């Protein structure tokens, strides 16, 4: 019984894995193409489907791009590397972008990958917790301090409770196993397209409470970031347009896209967990990755400022943009 991140780590094979992803058959002769390094947020998984499909289908190649996709050794690395100009574009989280910009990193959102929240507060379906109000006096496991505490606080306040009414327990990334073992009564931060499936596969079905329905403003789970100085770079627009084409193909052809996902060196990704995650993630990809929902970003910034996770609400254009059209 292992957590989502541990399960993904088990299939990672270092540099050979990244090289295999970066060299689809359609992209062998790319000397004249513009080079682009894309840093994933974690190991390759169904959340990254449009990127892989764009590689395998040749959408990047047709856009004149040679995209090198790199899975990080440390999930904290991508924003730092992009800020240091050691990566052209990164997959990141909207909520974390606000925090990173507040800390001084010169980053800007240039596109969206997953346009809905994925995180949940999850309990066991056969357990005693039937509503958020039942969390009073219970132990809640989390993996990352800061934002997840803010999520818990907002959700509890929606039913008249406070953060002090529960006991927070840091279980690192072993969220599902901590819940199944009884170490905690609930977990916050587990993904609805992974942890819920993992619990079901293990024979311990879960019940999810969705933050965006209980006090948290909706947000983009996964976004594309770049250095602020590249906010008008036409190469990035070509990348975003290629992922848009791939997303439409993916949604219209999910089985063919799945076969691309598990082809060749990625055959070990063909697991029950990934199959289920694939099916439940497809409808969460944005059809317009370049479009910016200004209100969504401004609301989250205000929420984080009210929770004192950022010092102030910055001007939107300093951290989130729509790239100029081609």
**Residues facing 167 on adjacent strands:** 139
DSSP character string of 168-219: EEE-TT-HHHHHHHTS-SEEEEEETTTHHHHHHHTT--EEEE-GGGTTPPP-
DSSP character string of 64-96: TEEEEEE--SSTTHHHHHHHTTS-SEEEE-HHH
Q: Which CATH number fits domain 4-116+220-318: 3.40.50.450, 3.40.190.10, 3.40.50.880, 3.30.365.10?
A: 3.40.190.10
Q: Which tens digit of pLDDT belongs to each residue from 29-69?
A: 445 799 999 999 999 999 999 999 999 999 999 999 999 99
**Cβ atoms within 10 A of the Cβ of 57, count?**
21
The verdict on domain 119-213 having CATH code 3.40.190.10 is: yes
Is the fold of 4-116+220-318 the same as that of 119-213? yes
For the chain, what are the domain ranges?
4-116+220-318, 119-213
How many Å apart are CA 126 and CA 119, to the nearest integer?
A: 21
Q: DSSP character for 12?
A: -
- pTM comes to 0.89
Give the count of alpha carbons within 13 A of 126, CB side only.
7
Q: How sure is the predictor about 16, in pLDDT bands with cuts at 50, 70 and 90?
A: very low
**Cβ atoms within 10 A of the Cβ of 23, count?**
16
Choose the weakest-confidence range: 15-24, 72-81, 173-182, 198-207. Answer: 15-24
């Amino acid at each position: 019984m292992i957590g989502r991140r541990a399960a993904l780590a088990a299939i990672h094979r270092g540099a050979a894995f990244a090289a295999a992803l970066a060299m689809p058959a359609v992209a062998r002769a790319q000397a004249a193409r513009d080079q682009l390094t894309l840093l994933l947020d974690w190991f390759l998984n169904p959340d990254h489907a449009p990127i892989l499909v764009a590689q395998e289908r040749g959408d990047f190649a047709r856009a004149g791009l040679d995209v090198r996709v790199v899975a990080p050794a440390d999930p904290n690395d991508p924003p730092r590397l992009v800020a240091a100009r050691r990566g052209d574009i990164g997959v990141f989280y909207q909520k974390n972008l606000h925090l990173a910009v507040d800390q001084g990193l010169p980053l800007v959102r240039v596109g969206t990958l997953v346009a809905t929240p994925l995180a949940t507060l999850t309990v066991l379906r056969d357990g005693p917790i039937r509503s958020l109000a039942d969390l009073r006096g219970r132990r809640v496991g989390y993996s990352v301090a800061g934002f997840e505490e803010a999520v818990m606080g907002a959700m509890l306040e929606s039913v008249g409770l406070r953060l002090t009414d529960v006991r927070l327990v840091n279980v690192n990334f072993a969220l599902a196993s901590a819940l199944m073992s009884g170490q905690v009564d609930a977990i916050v931060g587990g993904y609805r397209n992974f942890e819920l499936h993992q619990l079901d596969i293990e024979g311990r079905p879960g019940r999810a409470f969705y933050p965006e329905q209980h006090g948290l403003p909706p947000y983009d789970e996964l976004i594309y970031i770049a250095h602020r100085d590249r906010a008008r770079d036409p190469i990035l627009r070509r990348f975003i347009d290629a992922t848009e084409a791939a997303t439409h193909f993916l949604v219209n052809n999910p089985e063919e896209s799945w076969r691309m996902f598990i082809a060749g060196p990625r055959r070990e990704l063909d697991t029950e967990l990934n199959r289920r995650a694939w099916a439940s993630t497809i409808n969460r990809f944005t059809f317009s990755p370049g479009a910016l929902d200004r209100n969504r970003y401004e609301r989250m910034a205000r929420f984080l400022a009210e929770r004192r996770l950022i010092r102030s609400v910055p001007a939107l254009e300093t951290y989130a943009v729509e790239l100029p059209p081609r």
